[in-house]
Amino acid sequence: MEKKLQDIVTKAIPLTQAMGITVERYTGRDLTILAPLSNNFNHLGTAFGGSLYIACVLSCWGLLYLRLREAGVRGSIVIRRGGAEYLSPVTGDILATGMLPSEEAFASFLDTFSVRGKARIPLHAVIESGTGPAVKFEGEFALVK
């Protein structure tokens, strides 16, 4: 399943190739992607803010994609809104982890989609640094038929 996600992200979103994004770990509750600093640095030698944001969005989008496929649900996933809080510089490779809300919230999301043909769900992501969270992301994703 992770290999399929890697193939889709690489082919459908060409920017991910330039960023060097790879799918690292999927647990069913969260998804971690890697973007090497060597492809995503800024003029200060730290991770570029835009790359941090994209890594967070992709970790959430990919997590939702995998969970929906496991549930046998098809539809188009889009980000409706998102925001990031940049707490400290990222001086190494970017490891963004997208996280689902509770299983109850996910089940409610699926129920709404089955009834209405569209639904929204809040997802969160974090990029850790050596001392704690460096970036916190909150987004709302929509699923439409």
pTM of the shown model: 0.94
Q: DSSP readout, 35-64?
A: E-GGGSB-TTSSB-HHHHHHHHHHHHHHHH
Q: What is the pLDDT of residue 136?
A: 98
Q: Is 2's pLDDT higher than 90?
A: no
DSSP 47: B
User: What is the CA 30 to chain-centroid distance, rounded?
Assistant: 9
* Between residues 12 and 140, the one the model is more confident about: 140
Q: pLDDT, tens digit, for every residue of 13-37?
A: 889 999 999 999 999 999 999 999 9
Q: pLDDT, tens digit, for every residue of 43-100?
A: 999 999 999 999 999 999 999 999 999 999 999 999 999 999 999 999 999 999 999 9
